[in-house]
Chains A and B, each alone.
Chain A
Amino acid sequence: MKPPAFAYAAPETVAECLALKAAHGEEARFIAGGQSLMPLLNLRMVRPAVVIDLGKVRDLAYWRREGDDIAIGAMLRQRRLEQDKELATALPLLAEAVQQIGHPATRSRGTIVGSLCHADPAAELPVCALLLKAQLVLSSTKGRRTMAAEDFLTDALSTSIKDDELVEQVRIQTGRKGTGYAFMELARRHGDFALISVAALVAGTAGRVAIGGLGAAPLAFDLQAGDIAGEAQRIAQSLEPPNDLHATADYRRALAQTLIERALAKAAERSKT
């Protein structure tokens, strides 16, 4: 479990990062918190020629308000969602979801954007990003483009990012008054990737859920009717979750139904306070 040889670069500006990525393309990987990339390197499941460390780029570890959104830089650690009250209040769904991500030690290293880019099908933050229609800002030496989470998250461990791009920022809508949010999941152990995770929001008669743990990109559904139980059943029946070591597809579908129902009920209750 030792990684193969790779070159290591630790630039200090975004421009340098982009130049390196443009030069090395798919041979180069960015590393932020390293909570996914390091194990993959040690298992020799990825073999980048160059690892570009974002850790020394000071102007990526930020969050700020931009209109109705919170803009989060590529180096903002997950732990900030727990420790920064103002951020947690602005993003109530993420603040709830982050409790389920690994453990304090991993959250102190892991970044929000890093989790979106790794796109593990059972990770929590992509589900939140999809539910809240987050926008990702992708930069390269050629310029910058903005993409919705739905278009960014294409499959398990797959995104629409190009070989020369860096996800510099994600923009997420702030929690709105009159809207209730809830995040629920079930994992084999606390901190493990979810067997199924559900993020839900309810505003008046409108509602939306996003579901992770499906073995592919998370899926989002807008509610078509007010009957929560019926909607949960309808949505769960349409899912094609995986069979794996930890759970069967049948179980996951039934679990999704329960969690959708419960998350919507909780979000509805919260929307009233």
Chain B
Amino acid sequence: MLFGTRQTRGEDDRLIQGKGRYVDDIKLPGMLHVALVRSEAARAHVKVDVEAARSAPGVRAVFVATDLPASAKILPDCHPNPVLRNPRGPQVLADGVVRYVGEPIVAIVAESRYLAEDAAELVSVEYNLLPAVVDLERAMSDESRRVHEDLQSNLAARIPVSCGDTDKAFADAACIVRERLQIQRGAGQAMETRGIVAHWDPHAERMVVWNVSQVPFVHRTAIANALQLSENSVQVLNPDVGGGFGYKGLTYVEDLLIPVIARQLEVPIKWIEDRREHLIAAYHERTQLHDMEIATTADGVILGIRGKFLCDAGAYTPWGPVVPLLTAVNIPGPYKVPNYKVECDLVYTNTVPIAPVRGAGRPQACYVSERLLDAVARKLNIDGAELRRRNLIQAHEYPYDVGFISRDGTRRTYDSGNVPALLERALEMIEYDKHKARQKDYAAQGRHIGIGLACCVEDTGLGPFEEVGMTVELDGSVTVRMGTPSQGQGQRTAFAQIVADQLAVPFDKIKVLAGNTDNVRYSIGTFASRAGIVTGSAVLNASKQLRERALKIAGTLLQASPDDLTLEDGGVVRKDGGKLGRAMSLSDIVHTSLGESGAPLPLRDLGPGMSTVASFSPPTNTFATGCHAALVEVDPRTCKVSILKYVAVEDFGTMINPMIVDGQVIGGVGLGIGNAFLEKVVYDDSGQILTGTFMDYLVATTMDVPHVHIDYLATPSPLNPLGMKGAGQGGTIPVPAALSAAVEDALRDYGLRLRHVPFSESDIFAALQTARTGAAA
């Protein structure tokens, strides 16, 4: 069995030797390069003069909004949802009005990117500045400033989620804690930025696009609609892709713009997003402001959670209300919250649009519920671990009905889980009792050491389906075709492990093909921790079909019952170990069943060859869970935080390849550490973005991510045949909550309270001063 084992990734030899082929490696004859002129104002009416740019050296064309066809002026909402009462799609090129710094206004097409950037400087944009909407609360109160002047207010959506009777719960409560909690803006920073090469093939009459998409079929439809072509006249190809973070699973205006230019000019066009463009103009996430309260009994048992939060939409809603919706449904987490009522306002501001980035609304939810629990623990003087024990859903209570409708429209039901066991394992690994008992001794030595805990759920493996094509080739090797491309997750290894077990074919004889929309007929894509589960289950189904078919063909040829046969070492053998009439490899089966050219098919009832298409459709999401524990030391004078130990105990159900999952967890924790301490997009009051380089927007590096101690406990999911749950985001979600709690615990004698993430040394210093002033007053 290869399933469940630590197999070295088949991808890595190629990639670490520099043999990968990324979108910027695609070079076509006659290819031209695009540079974009982006808005320097957050909110303004603009007039554009491109004449000087048109005659600049090497410039072949200049595109402004009026040059675009009607079908490609506005990016369609790729995730429509009825709660989004006022959707507004991004302008492919700004037409008279700009709504955030970085919004594209003009596209310059030139012989090189250098010349295109030179010409971009010659474009004159006259800005008639309007006051910008930046602050979330003001955006909802100040009627005079609207991001979209045709709307009555800046409200994009109002999202209510509730169950039970919170009024009664709060009336009955022995303890009520209110908190104002803020999660600040961050973004995904993959090693490879976005990029597109588009080529109109006049012979095939087809638009061929190479890009970094996590959702090539979504992009194919969007491009086809923009160009008014049939989908079979568009092919989207994803070469090697260097990281996704979710933001490559979204559609951007450039995804339409570059193919439109390539179609109009009938020349191959390349646009590679540079890091500055990525920082100032690719979708951000995270910004939310919560006013939440929790009600408990005197023993700390949760009676209810209620409150409101604001979620920043940015200037447009390219991906519907997914982020705030996910936050709203995830706040109860793995805890029993019988009465729950939240309302979220999704608010337009003159900033980069918000769309899912790894974690996708859940780190905010986890931060809110865990911070509320820490506040209750402090108020009732109950140990944080004990308080969580009292409130976690117990193993026997799964499947657990949370009580409200989930993001996918089904009743939110946790399929399986045992978070109490995850918590106990995390406590053991972090040596919770030992360190808690020693905290006084540490303090006597002048050391300030604290522990933080956070538990989370993650809805993973969402529907509706994935399709897989599978063929046994004439030489007995296997080709697997799918629609969910890799951004580095190890698809080629993991899915081959599933096939190898079913077809008894050596691992290195299985070729997994993804990243080409011609491979399969339909697909959704790689995001929301779904490909492993949904595509993986389709791979299993296809493998089983071919296995059954191989046994049936062999049985017919050998005049044996398929029930007496099995597959071993790339061929058919008898189950009882007896000798077959003749050896029959998968290659023999394919050859025989395909027959001879010109002759009748030998097995007319069974049809030719060993090829199939299968799919899988999960009934609803499966829920991964996790518990993280952090041991930190803080220097109260410099406010420097050192992570002494970090523990992640995860329940991803059964895993295909735990080594690949380790990588997901470590990378996830790295982003979580960034979200806790470092990664912060900053706008000033006029809507200027101040974090336009990696000197200002800080990402956790290998120097900042400690060794992550990982363990897994599995409660297999009943919702897919292999019992899998998604592992893409669990590493990230609990980190800001756990680290906030740990730092507060380390400086508990100073009364430190942290109410926002990320927090810097300087923020801790300011919070300590607040605590001191508060204590004095």
Q: Identify which of A2, A191, A195 contacts B113 (C-beta below 8 A).
A: A2
Whether B703 pairs with A1 at a CB distance below 8 angstroms is no
Nearest Cβ on chain B to A24's Cβ, whole angstroms: 21
B439 on the A face (CB < 8 A): no
Nearest Cβ on chain B to A257's Cβ, whole angstroms: 8
Residues of chain B within 8 A of A245, CB atoms compared:
680, 682, 690-691, 696
B640 on the A face (CB < 8 A): yes
Whether B117 pairs with A2 at a CB distance below 8 angstroms is yes
Whether A188 pairs with B698 at a CB distance below 8 angstroms is yes
Per-residue A-contact encoding for B74-115, CB less than 8 Å = 1, 0 else: 000000000000000000000000000000000000000110
Q: Identify which of B678, B682, B696 contacts A189 (C-beta below 8 A).
A: B678
- The stretch among A10-18, A209-217, A247-255 that forms the contact with chain B is A247-255
Nearest Cβ on chain B to A73's Cβ, whole angstroms: 28
* Assembled-state Cα–Cα distance A250/B695 (Å): 22
B264 on the A face (CB < 8 A): no
B445 on the A face (CB < 8 A): no
B275 on the A face (CB < 8 A): yes
Nearest Cβ on chain B to A38's Cβ, whole angstroms: 13
5 nearest A-B pairs in the assembled complex, by CB-CB distance: A247-B762, A251-B762, A1-B274, A190-B703, A251-B765
Within 8 A of A (CB), among B501-545: none
Interface size class of B (residues with CB under 8 A): 20 to 34
Within 8 A of A (CB), among B105-142: 113-114, 117-118, 121
Q: Identify which of A44, A190, A193, A250 contacts B765 (C-beta below 8 A).
A: A250
Within 8 A of B (CB), among A226-270: 245-248, 250-252, 254-255, 258-259
Whether A195 pairs with B690 at a CB distance below 8 angstroms is no
Whether B703 pairs with A189 at a CB distance below 8 angstroms is yes
* Assembled-state Cα–Cα distance A245/B695 (Å): 10
B704 on the A face (CB < 8 A): yes
* Assembled-state Cα–Cα distance A255/B637 (Å): 7
Residues of chain A within 8 A of B637, CB atoms compared:
254, 258
B693 on the A face (CB < 8 A): yes
Residues of chain B within 8 A of A251, CB atoms compared:
639, 761-762, 765-766
A192 on the B face (CB < 8 A): yes
Q: What residue of chain B has the Cβ atom nearest to residue A39's Cβ?
A: B693
- Name 7 extra pairs, CB < 8 A, besides A245-B696, A251-B762: A1-B274, A1-B275, A5-B118, A186-B761, A189-B698, A189-B704, A258-B637
A46 on the B face (CB < 8 A): no
B379 on the A face (CB < 8 A): no
Q: Identify which of A43, A189, A192, A250 contacts B276 (C-beta below 8 A).
A: A43
Residues of chain A within 8 A of B693, CB atoms compared:
39, 43
* Assembled-state Cα–Cα distance A245/B690 (Å): 8
Per-residue A-contact encoding for B697-709, CB less than 8 Å = 1, 0 else: 0101101100000
B760 on the A face (CB < 8 A): yes
Whether A1 pairs with B276 at a CB distance below 8 angstroms is yes
* Assembled-state Cα–Cα distance A245/B276 (Å): 17
Nearest Cβ on chain A to B586's Cβ, whole angstroms: 49
* Assembled-state Cα–Cα distance A147/B700 (Å): 40
Per-residue B-contact encoding for A191-216, CB less than 8 Å = 1, 0 else: 11101000000000000000000000
Residues of chain B within 8 A of A193, CB atoms compared:
695
Q: A1-B276, A246-B762 are in contact. Are A192 and B698 (CB under 8 A)?
A: yes
Residues of chain A within 8 A of B639, CB atoms compared:
251
Q: Identify which of A3, A5, A246, A258 contacts B638 (C-beta below 8 A).
A: A258
* Assembled-state Cα–Cα distance A195/B695 (Å): 12
* Assembled-state Cα–Cα distance A190/B703 (Å): 7
A178 on the B face (CB < 8 A): no
Q: Identify which of B117, B638, B690, B769 contacts A186 (C-beta below 8 A).
A: B638
Within 8 A of B (CB), among A37-53: 39, 43-44
Whether B761 pairs with A247 at a CB distance below 8 angstroms is yes
Nearest Cβ on chain A to B246's Cβ, whole angstroms: 24
* Assembled-state Cα–Cα distance A88/B704 (Å): 27
Nearest Cβ on chain B to A14's Cβ, whole angstroms: 31
Q: What residue of chain B has the Cβ atom nearest to residue A190's Cβ?
A: B703
Per-residue B-contact encoding for A58-100, CB less than 8 Å = 1, 0 else: 0000000000000000000000000000000000000000000
